[in-house]
Structure 1
Amino acid sequence: RGEDGHLAYLLRQAQAAARLSLERALASTGLTHPQFVVLTMLKAYPGLSGADCARMALLTPQTVNVIIGNLERDGAIRRAPHPVHGRMLQWTLTARGLALLAKARRGANALEQRLAAGLGKRDVATIRRWLARIAAEFHPD
């Protein structure tokens, strides 16, 4: 522990602390962290299939299927058949889903501000580049 710890462990420790903080921030919305990620992906990329959403969200297809079922039941997303591949379903946010995501995003933005507290814009940009590089090199999918 501490600044002299192994870099991979420090990264894991920071990720665990950030995830716990995000889960606490999401508690008032009723969303879980994975549901928040799925809503975020569907807002950014409307019309994703469940399989594509799973890949982008770094979740298993089985997990995303459960999440999608729950979000659809709650009226946060809706499905439509793919215009070419009719058996493939595409998912989009409903007005309820957009409102729920906006509420959840406020908590996530507050966490982002805490994470960047005390850092300059240059430092934040350097950290973002470093994290993106790690993700690209160690998890190329």
Structure 2
Amino acid sequence: MTPAKPRTRKPVPPPTTAPEPLDSHVLESLVGYNARRAYLVVYVAFAERMAVYGLKPTDFSVLSLLAHNPGATSRQLCAALDIQPPNFVSLVAAMDRRGLIERRPHPHDGRAVGLHLTPAGHQLMVEAEEAVIQLEKEASHKLTDRERETLIRLLQKIYL
């Protein structure tokens, strides 16, 4: 018996024309859909630029708050960022292991602990915040400064 010839597939040529656009008027009228689409553009750039610092969005947010609010407590940070305390514990532990933050007794509440950036954490945030500010400018380059401010204010009206 002769072995069967292997079947070869002919490569499928790429389409020569762009796909026909879909009717997305309902989606495009939704705040959530538009916010998510804009977020994805910014998030992709954020993830690429923050990879060098080993930071995810939540890490960046916590460290930024600590850079501008030294001694903030876990409770304050959880409230500001809408993070559940059990999730925050592992986040702080990871930052502590990296040498980015340190815990110090709170000056007014003997039961609380204030979180502070270490010198390494401070240096990381100087660089990371500069990179994020630049990427935000690039991601929103189609907006005027006034439009960008208006967009931020309108989005904040939804969640604040």
TM-score bin, normalised by smaller chain? 0.7 to 0.9
Where does residue 38 of structure 1 map in the other structure? 62
- Tell me the matched-pair count: 136
For 1:2 and 1:102, how far apart are their aligned partners in 2? 44
Where does residue 10 of structure 1 map in the other structure? 34
CA contact (8 A) 2:66 2:116 kept: yes
Alpha-carbon distance change, 58 to 20 in structure 1, aligned in 2, over 3 angstroms:
farther
Please report the TM-score for the alignment, with normalisation by the length of structure 1: 0.83
Alpha-carbon distance change, 110 to 2 in structure 1, aligned in 2, over 3 angstroms:
farther
For 1:34 and 1:65, how far apart are their aligned partners in 2? 13
Identity over aligned pairs, percent: 23
Runs of 4+ in 1 over 6 A off after TM superposition: none
1:23 aligned onto 2:47: yes
Once the 2 structures are TM-superposed, how far is the Cα of residue 124 of structure 1 from its aligned partner?
A: 2.5
**Bigger share in helix:** 1
Structure 1 gap ranges (5+): none
CA contact (8 A) 1:116 1:124 kept: no
Q: How does 1:18-97 map to 2 (within 5 A)?
A: 18-97=42-121
Q: Give the one of 127, 139, 145 matched to 1:115.
A: 139
Alpha-carbon distance change, 48 to 2 in structure 1, aligned in 2, over 3 angstroms:
farther
Once the 2 structures are TM-superposed, how far is the Cα of residue 2 of structure 1 from its aligned partner?
A: 9.5
Where does residue 101 of structure 1 map in the other structure? 125
User: Highest CA radius of gyration, 1 or 2?
Assistant: 2
CA contact (8 A) 2:41 2:139 kept: no
Alpha-carbon distance change, 130 to 99 in structure 1, aligned in 2, over 3 angstroms:
same
Structure 2 gap ranges (5+): 1-21
Where does residue 8 of structure 2 map in the other structure? none
Please report the TM-score for the alignment, with normalisation by the length of structure 2: 0.74
1:20 aligned counterpart, secondary structure: helix
The one-letter code matched in structure 2 to 1:127 is R
Once the 2 structures are TM-superposed, how far is the Cα of residue 3 of structure 1 from its aligned partner?
A: 9.2
Could you report, residue by residue, the CA deviation over 1:92-131 in whole angstroms, capped at 9, with x for unpaired residues? 1111001111222232122112123243xxx323332343
